[in-house]
């Protein structure tokens, strides 16, 4: 299990806490962790970040640009100001939408970079806009390592919502408190400035096929493993604690040999819970997750069967098919990366439907944004489902003329 904790701080108009926790497997190995171990790590991250909420009208604050970065400070009763705070990209964008409207943040940033007069004019516009914000706004801040001042990571609607409203730590605690969930092996976990995403095995017996000390397959020739190229059933759970407003859980499949992940066939997350809804929201989420496990196992089993079938479905032009089917879902750069990934040694050879699936899911790993990664994996799932249906109708082969 590879574990890194890094903080990325590019020299731009905001601070970016890109990745607070990144735990993943090494290709071809399986050394899963337990929920209680993840919980201990998440609690330490929470302690180090020292999250705080301030719920006040923005008219009591002051905005300025300091050393090329956006900064915000609350006004004291004697007219002085508290210590300034910086912003993450999301936090600055949320505040700008609230104060300046759509596109205002980008325009004011450009104006501020145009020189001294432009910076002063941008600050005047920010502060003029904040004077009309007389209703409470909740600003969430953390103390990022290496930063002198605190960093605002979200600007949310005020009204008494505390920091502990189904935040990442709360969701992990739900997993740890549930006998049905805490024993499911965790294969990867990621926490960044905007979201959390955890992946685990739906069937614990898959982990038993690997040595718990080395992570290597006990019997690589086992038909269940098939050289690590046949996927296993996976669950994944996500949360947005800085304005995304929901928690979700969904099924999928996962390749131990290459760490690729494929989203489920559902168009969105399979099960989703808004953070609003009263004091019993945590129990409702936990009971909903427990009820979803059986359905997820059935769904993942069907996907694995479809992928196995896809290794036999011939494609006359894999690159052309990806361009035709992915034009509306993937950028040109994403398609180019996927094409390169199709010829990776871990991808299915000989231009099969599975070759495209492998290429897209392998390319998705290179996305730094978890939401873009998930979008690519969900597209791969739709492509698999569509391709299998077409192959069944055309005798097991897909030609560009019929796929257009």
Mean pLDDT value across residues 103-107: 91
Same domain, 84 and 142: yes
Mean local confidence (pLDDT), 192-213: 88
d(CA 266, CA 378): 8
- Domain that residue 239 falls in: 1-50+163-288
For 126, counting Cβ atoms within 10 Å of its Cβ (0-12 exposed, 13-18 middle, 19+ buried), the class is buried
Q: Do 45 and 61 sit in the same domain of this protein?
A: no
**Looking at beta carbons, which pairs linking 282-285 to residues 24 or more positions away fall under 8 Å?**
282/166, 282/170, 282/174, 285/166, 285/171, 285/174, 285/247
CA–CA dist 229, 317 (Å, integer): 23
Determine how many CB atoms are found less than 10 A away from the CB of residue 296: 22
Do 22 and 168 lie in a common domain?
A: yes
Domain count, the chain: 3
Of residues 161 and 34, more confidence is placed in 34
Average pLDDT value for residue range 282-291: 74
The whole-chain average pLDDT of the chain stands at: 84
Asked whether the predicted pLDDT for residue 156 surpasses 60, the reply is yes
Tell me which of 168-172, 214-218, 240-244, 265-269 is least confident: 240-244
Reported as a single tens digit per residue, the pLDDT across 241-275 is 766 567 888 999 999 989 999 999 887 666 777 66
Among 109, 125, 157, which residue terminates a domain? 157
Question: Which has the higher per-residue pLDDT, 388 or 277?
Answer: 388
Separation of alpha carbons 86 and 95, rounded Å:
12
Distance of alpha carbon 85 from alpha carbon 80, whole angstroms = 15
Same domain, 34 and 180: yes
234, β-bridge pairs: 201, 252
Annotate 388-400 with DSSP letters as a single string. Answer: HHHHHHHTSEE-H
pLDDT score recorded for residue 226 = 56
The DSSP H or E segment spanning 291 is: helix 281-310
pLDDT of amino acid 281: 61
Q: What is the pTM of this model?
A: 0.80
**Pair 12, 100 in one domain:** no
- Do 44 and 173 reside in the same domain of the chain? yes
User: What is the pLDDT averaged over residues 194-221?
Assistant: 88
Helix, strand or coil, per DSSP, at residue 4? strand
């Amino acid at each position: 299990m590879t574990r890194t904790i890094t903080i990325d701080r590019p020299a731009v108009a905001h601070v970016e806490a890109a990745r607070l926790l990144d735990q993943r497997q090494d290709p071809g190995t399986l050394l899963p962790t337990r929920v209680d171990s993840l919980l201990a790590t998440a609690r330490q991250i929470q302690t180090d970040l020292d999250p705080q909420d301030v719920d006040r009208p923005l008219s009591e604050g002051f905005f300025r640009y300091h050393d090329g970065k956006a900064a915000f400070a609350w006004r004291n009763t004697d007219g002085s100001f508290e210590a300034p705070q910086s912003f993450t990209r999301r936090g600055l964008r949320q505040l700008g939408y609230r104060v300046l409207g759509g596109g205002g943040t980008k325009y004011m940033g450009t104006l501020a970079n145009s020189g001294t007069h432009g910076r002063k004019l941008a600050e005047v516009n920010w502060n003029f806009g904040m004077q009309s914000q007389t209703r409470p706004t909740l600003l969430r801040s953390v103390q990022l390592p290496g930063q002198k001042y605190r960093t605002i990571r979200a600007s949310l609607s005020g009204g008494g919502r505390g920091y502990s409203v189904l935040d990442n730590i709360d969701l992990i605690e739900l997993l740890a408190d549930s006998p049905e969930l805490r024993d499911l092996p965790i294969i990867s976990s990621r926490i960044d400035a905007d979201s959390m995403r955890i992946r685990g095995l739906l069937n614990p017996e898959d982990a038993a096929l690997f040595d718990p000390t080395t992570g290597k397959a006990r019997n690589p020739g086992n038909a269940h493993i098939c050289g690590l190229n046949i996927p296993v059933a996976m669950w994944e759970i996500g949360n947005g604690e800085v304005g995304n407003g929901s928690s979700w859980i969904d099924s999928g499949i996962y390749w131990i040999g290459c760490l690729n992940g494929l989203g489920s066939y559902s168009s969105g997350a399979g099960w989703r819970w808004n953070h609003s809804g009263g004091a019993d929201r945590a129990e409702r989420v936990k009971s909903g997750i427990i009820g979803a496990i059986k359905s997820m196992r059935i769904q993942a089993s069907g996907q694995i069967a479809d992928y196995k079938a896809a290794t036999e479905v011939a494609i006359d032009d894999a690159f052309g098919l990806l361009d035709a089917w992915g034009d509306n879902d993937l950028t040109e750069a994403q398609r180019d990366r996927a094409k390169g990934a199709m010829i990776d040694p871990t991808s299915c050879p000989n231009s099969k439907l599975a070759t495209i699936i492998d290429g897209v899911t392998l390319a998705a790993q290179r996305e730094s944004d978890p939401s873009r990664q998930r979008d690519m994996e969900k597209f791969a799932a739709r492509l698999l489902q569509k391709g299998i249906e077409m192959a069944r109708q055309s005798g097991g082969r897909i030609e560009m003329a019929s796929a257009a």
